[in-house]
Amino acid sequence: MNMSYVARLEEQTGLKFDPAKLPRHIAIIMDGNGRWAKQRGQERTVGHRAGVEALEGVVEACRNLGIGYLTVYAFSTENWSRPAAEVGTLMSLLSEFAASKLLRLRDNQVEVRVLGDLAGLPVLQRAALNRLMAATANARSGGEGLVLNLALNYGGRAEILAGLKKAAAELSPRELQELSEEGFGAYLTTAGQPDPDLLIRTSGELRLSNFLLWQLAYAEFYFTEVLWPDFDAAELFRAVCAYQQRDRRFGAAPV
């Protein structure tokens, strides 16, 4: 954790940060790119471009705050139903991001993983993402660094169903009978990672839109009206400080 960075954000926001209550894993539904562009009289795709910039800023902020895992919803299985031109731009931005940010992410100790059906993406995007994942696979070192999960062509129900089929194919009937919740987690795309502690959704929408349905069981939710392209380090800091005020009981009686 970069303490002078934290001090600067405390001053900027007037909020107090508690280093002992850091979320291990933050999940974000990056929403509102289209509305952001519309407010400026621009095409929706302009908003998506600005959204990529915002993501870069938030990744850097997570590194400075010492967050271990960041999962961002970048493209849902339902997003294929958008106009072909918009889907095309999103795909181009994806391969552009994968190629142009590769070295910077690796040098910044960010390991990129993809959650979702990679095989269902166009071949160019698939290749760019495979390169990005391979190049950053060992980017974290000495307990330092960030895992960045890109949820792409992702749907929560599809993930659970795929995990169920995988478990059924690999396990004996007896093992399947005895499979625990924790054991089942190993069949999901987030295997080996802690569940998100904090879920953020921008743009004022109050729904999950099929995101991490299993993993978010006990996450704290933070909704903000801020549109994704305007979501910066200070906004992330506000969300983390709000999270630190929550009383996480996990079903136990309050102390």
Write the interaction track for ligand IPE spanning residues 18-37; mark x where CB under 6 A is met and - where it is not: -----------xxxxxxx--
The residue from 23, 28, 31, 93 that contacts Mg ion (CB under 5 A) is: 31
Say if residues 34 and 211 touch (Cβ distance below 8 Å): no
- Is 49 a binder of ligand IPE (CB under 6 A)? no
Give the torsion through C-alpha atoms of 91, 94, 98, 100, to 10 deg. 100
Q: Which residues are catalytic?
A: 31, 79
Query: Is residue 79 near ligand IPE by the rule CB under 6 A?
Result: yes
**Min separation Cβ 139 and ligand IPE, Å:** 24
For the chain, give the number of residues.
Answer: 255
What are the beta bridge partners of residue 115? Answer: 151
From 23-31, 60-68, 156-164, 235-243, give the range in contact with Mg ion by CB under 5 A.
Answer: 23-31
97 binds ligand IPE (CB under 6 A): no
Q: Which residue's CB atom is positioned nearest to ligand IPE? A: 34
Query: Radius of gyration of the chain from Cα atoms?
Result: 19
Distance of closest approach, residue 207 Cβ to ligand IPE, in angstroms = 6
d(CA 45, CA 38): 10
Could you tell me which residues come within 8 angstroms of residue 173 by beta carbon, excluding any fewer than 6 positions away?
none
CA atoms within 13 A on the CB side of 142: 0
Which positions touch ligand IPE (CB under 6 A)?
Answer: 29-35, 73-76, 79, 90, 203, 205, 207, 209, 228
Which positions touch Mg ion (CB under 5 A)?
Answer: 31
